[in-house]
C-alpha cells in the first residue's frame, strides 16, 4: 500500500522556500490565471444552485398546471438529486480517463440537454425525463468543479478557491429566487417552463468558457505528461521557482503510488485499480479519509438544507403566508443571507481554518433549526398565527441557511477534494459526493411525507438533533488542513508512530 504522506521532507530546502513570499502564503499575490480557471470551473456549480432555487417556486405552478399530488411533487424534486448520484459515481472514473477539463464540458452539456427537456415539457413524464438527465449533469459538476480547482490551486489560497463552487451554488439559488419573483405574474402554464428552461444559458457559457482552461497539472503528471504539467504550473504560479517546487512535489507524489509510476510513464494510466484500493483493501489512513469525507457529505445533506430550501414556500404557506409574491420575497431574503455568509466563509477560510468555521456553522445550524421547530410548532397549534412566531420562523430559516453557508456548505467541497492522495482523489471524491447526492435525494423525497406525520416543527427538531451529532462527529474526526499542500495532507491521517518513524527516516536522508 502506498504511503499517504507523499510530500514532506523535514527541514528540507523546499519547506524553507515555501515559507517565502510568493509561495501561497496569506497575503501573497493570488495568481490571476489560477483565479480565472477556478471561477470558470466553479461556475458549473451554478447549475445545481439555480435548480434548487427556481424549483422551490416553479413547483407551486407545476402542481397547479399539471395537477400533480404531493407525492409526485416530492418525486419530481428529489429525482434530480437521486440521479445526480449516477453522475457523481461515474464522474471519478470519467475524469481519470478523459481528464478534468473535458469532464467539465460533459457536465455542462448534459445539464443543457436536461434544461431544454424541462423547459419544453408538455407533460409530467416529459418533465421527469428532463430532471433525470439534468441530475446526471449535476452529479458530474459537483465532483469535478472542486477537484479541478483544488488541483490547480496553491496551498495557502486553496480554501478560498475551492469554496467557490459553494458560492456559485448559493448565487444560483439566489438567481433562481429572483427569477421566481420576476416571472410569478406570468400565466402558470408558461412561467414554470421559462423558469426551468433558463438554466440552459449558463450551461452554454460554461461549455464555451472551458476553452480558456488548462488541464489539471496533477492529472497530466499521472499521464506522464510532465512537460505539459510544468507549463500549466508556470501559468498558475507567481514565479518559475514556485512552479518547479510544486512540480517536484506532485511528481514525488505520483511516484509514491505503488503500481502507478510505470503506467504513468507509459501514458496509459486511467484510474485502474482505484476502487479496489478504496473499498476492498484500504490502509488505515485511507479508511480514515473515507470516514471523514463520507461522514461530512452525509451530514451536509442529512442537515436538511436542500429540503428546507426546496420546500420553504410550503413551510411558510403552513405558517399563514399565502401570497406567492410574498413567499418568493422571503426566499430572496434567505438567498441574500446565504450569499453573504458564503462570501465571508470563502474569504476567511484560509485564515481561520476549516475546523473553526465548520464547528461554529454546525452548532449554529443546530440552534437555528431548534428555533425554526419552536416557531413552526407554535404555528401548528395556534389559530391566530402569531406574528412573533412567523418572524421567529423567518429569522431561524435565514440563520440556518447562513450557518450552513458559513461552514458545511463550502467546507464539504473543499475538504472532499483535498484529503485524498492524487491517484485516489477523483474517484474517492466521487464516492463521497455520491453519498451526498443519495442522502439529498432521500431527504428531499421524504421531507413532506414525514412532515405530514410529525408536523414541520417536529421535522425541524429532528434535523436539529442530527446537527448536534454532526458537530460531535466533526470535532472528533476532522483534522485541520489549512495551509498544507495536497501532497502533505495524507500525513494528518497516519498513525502517530508511523508518522514519527517516517519523519525520522527523512531527517536521516536530509
Inside any domain, residue 85: yes
Is pLDDT of 445 > 60?
Answer: yes
Question: Residue 143 domain-assigned?
Answer: yes
Q: What per-residue confidence (pLDDT) applies to 271? A: 62
Mean pLDDT lowest for which of 143-152, 317-326, 336-345? 317-326
Contact 362, 467 (CB under 8 A): yes
**Which pLDDT does position 361 carry in this prediction?**
95
pLDDT of residue 270: 64
Does residue 322 surpass a pLDDT of 70?
A: no
Give residue 475's pLDDT band: very low, low, confident or very high (50, 70, 90): very high
Least confident of 141-145, 149-153, 327-331: 327-331
Encode pLDDT of 329-338 as tens digits. 777 787 788 8
Query: Per-residue pLDDT for 505 more than 50?
Result: no
Give pLDDT, residue 467: 96
> Comparing 136 with 46, which gets the higher pLDDT?
136
pLDDT tens digits, one per residue of 326-382: 777 777 787 788 888 988 888 888 888 899 999 999 999 999 999 988 988 887 776
What confidence tens digit (pLDDT) does each residue in 60-83 have?
888 888 888 878 888 888 788 788
Residue-range definition of the domain harbouring residue 502:
32-509
* Residue 472 counted as domain residue: yes
| CA dist., res. 173 & res. 50, Å (int) | 5
Asked if the structure places residue 156 within a domain, the reply is yes
Please write the tens of the pLDDT for every residue from 48-57.
888 878 887 8
Q: Bigger pLDDT: 165 or 8? A: 165
Distance CA 297, CA 301 (A): 7
Could you tell me what percent of the chain has a pLDDT over 70? 85
- Mean pLDDT for the chain? 81
Residues in the chain: 510
Distances (CA, A) of 164 to 112, 135, 481: 21, 21, 17
Compute the distance between CA of residue 202 and CA of residue 190 in angstroms, rounded to an integer.
21
Handedness of CA 245, 249, 251, 252 (dihedral sign): positive
Which pLDDT score, from 0 to 100, does residue 167 have?
87
* pLDDT over 80 (residue 305): yes
pLDDT score at 297: 94
Q: With a cut of 50, say whether residue 510 has pLDDT above it.
A: no
Give dist(CA 140, CA 162) in Å, integer. Answer: 16
- pTM attached to this predicted model: 0.77
The answer to the question of residue 10 being in a domain is no
462 is a domain residue: yes
Segment holding 293, helix H or strand E? helix 284-302
**CATH number of the domain enclosing 36:** 1.20.1250.20
Cell of 243: 512552479
Report for 14-28, 105-119, 189-203: range of highest mean pLDDT = 105-119
Q: What percent of the chain has pLDDT over 90?
A: 22
Count how many domains the chain has.
1
pLDDT digit string (tens) for 81-137?
788 889 988 998 899 889 999 999 899 899 889 989 988 888 888 999 999 999 999
Is residue 55 one of the residues assigned to a domain?
yes
Does the pLDDT at position 15 exceed 50?
Answer: no
What is the structure's pLDDT at 403? 94
Instruction: Indicate whether 196 pLDDT > 80.
Output: yes
Q: Is the dihedral of CA 111, 116, 120, 126 positive or negative?
A: negative
Q: Please indicate, yes or no, if residue 26 is contained in any of the structural domains.
A: no
State the pLDDT at residue 231. Answer: 93
pLDDT 10s digits, 257-275: 544 434 444 455 666 667 7
Amino acid at each position: 500500500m502506498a504511503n499517504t504522506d507523499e510530500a514532506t521532507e523535514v527541514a528540507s530546502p523546499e519547506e524553507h522556500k515555501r515559507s517565502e513570499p510568493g509561495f501561497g502564503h496569506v497575503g501573497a499575490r493570488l495568481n490571476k490565471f489560477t483565479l480565472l480557471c477556478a471561477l470558470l470551473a466553479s461556475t458549473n456549480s451554478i447549475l445545481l444552485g439555480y435548480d434548487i432555487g427556481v424549483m422551490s417556486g416553479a413547483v407551486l405552478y407545476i402542481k397547479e398546471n399539471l395537477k400533480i399530488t404531493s407525492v409526485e411533487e416530492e418525486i419530481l424534486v428529489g429525482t434530480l438529486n437521486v440521479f445526480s448520484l449516477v453522475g457523481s459515481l461515474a464522474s471519478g472514473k470519467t475524469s481519470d480517463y478523459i481528464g478534468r477539463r473535458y469532464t467539465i464540458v460533459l457536465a455542462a452539456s448534459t445539464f443543457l440537454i436536461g434544461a431544454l427537456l424541462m423547459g419544453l415539457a408538455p407533460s409530467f413524464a416529459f418533465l421527469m425525463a428532463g430532471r433525470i438527465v439534468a441530475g446526471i449533469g449535476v452529479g458530474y459538476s459537483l465532483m469535478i468543479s472542486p477537484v479541478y480547482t483544488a488541483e490547480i490551486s496553491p496551498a495557502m489560497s486553496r480554501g478560498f478557491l475551492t469554496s467557490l463552487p459553494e458560492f456559485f451554488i448559493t448565487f444560483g439559488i439566489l438567481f433562481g429566487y429572483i427569477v421566481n419573483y420576476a416571472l410569478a405574474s406570468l400565466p402558470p402554464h408558461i412561467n414554470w417552463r421559462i423558469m426551468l428552461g433558463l438554466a440552459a444559458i449558463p450551461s452554454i457559457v460554461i461549455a464555451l468558457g472551458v476553452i480558456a482552461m488548462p488541464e489539471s497539472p496533477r492529472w497530466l503528471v499521472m499521464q506522464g505528461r510532465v512537460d505539459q504539467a510544468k507549463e500549466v504550473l508556470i501559468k498558475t504560479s507567481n514565479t518559475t521557482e514556485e512552479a518547479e517546487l510544486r512540480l517536484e512535489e506532485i511528481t514525488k507524489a505520483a511516484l509514491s503510488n505503488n503500481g502507478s509510476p510505470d503506467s504513468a510513464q507509459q501514458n496509459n494510466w486511467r484510474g485502474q485499480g482505484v476502487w479496489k484500493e478504496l473499498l476492498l483493501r484500504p490502509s488505515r489512513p485511507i479508511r480514515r479519509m473515507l470516514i471523514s469525507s463520507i461522514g461530512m457529505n452525509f451530514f451536509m445533506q442529512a442537515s436538511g438544507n436542500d429540503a428546507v430550501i426546496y420546500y420553504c414556500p410550503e413551510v411558510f404557506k403552513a405558517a399563514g403566508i399565502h401570497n406567492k409574491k410574498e413567499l418568493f420575497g422571503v426566499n430572496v431574503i434567505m438567498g441574500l443571507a446565504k450569499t453573504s455568509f458564503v462570501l465571508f466563509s470563502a474569504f476567511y477560510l484560509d485564515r481561520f481554518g476549516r475546523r473553526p468555521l465548520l464547528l461554529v456553522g454546525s452548532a449554529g445550524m443546530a440552534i437555528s433549526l431548534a428555533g425554526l421547530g419552536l416557531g413552526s410548532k407554535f404555528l401548528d397549534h395556534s389559530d391566530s398565527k402569531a406574528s412573533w412566531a412567523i418572524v421567529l420562523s423567518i429569522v431561524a430559516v435565514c440563520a440556518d441557511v447562513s450557518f450552513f453557508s458559513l461552514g458545511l456548505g463550502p467546507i464539504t467541497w473543499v475538504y472532499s477534494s483535498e484529503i485524498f492522495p492524487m491517484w485516489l482523489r477523483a474517484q474517492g471524491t466521487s464516492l463521497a459526493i455520491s453519498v451526498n447526492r443519495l442522502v439529498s435525494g432521500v431527504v428531499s423525497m421524504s421531507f413532506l411525507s414525514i412532515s405530514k406525520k410529525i408536523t414541520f416543527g417536529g421535522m425541524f427538531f429532528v434535523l436539529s438533533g442530527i446537527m448536534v451529532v454532526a458537530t460531535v462527529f466533526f470535532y472528533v474526526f476532522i483534522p485541520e488542513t489549512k495551509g498544507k499542500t495536497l501532497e502533505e495532507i495524507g500525513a494528518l491521517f497516519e498513525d502517530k508512530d508511523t508518522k514519527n518513524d517516517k519523519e525520522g527516516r527523512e531527517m536521516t536522508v536530509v
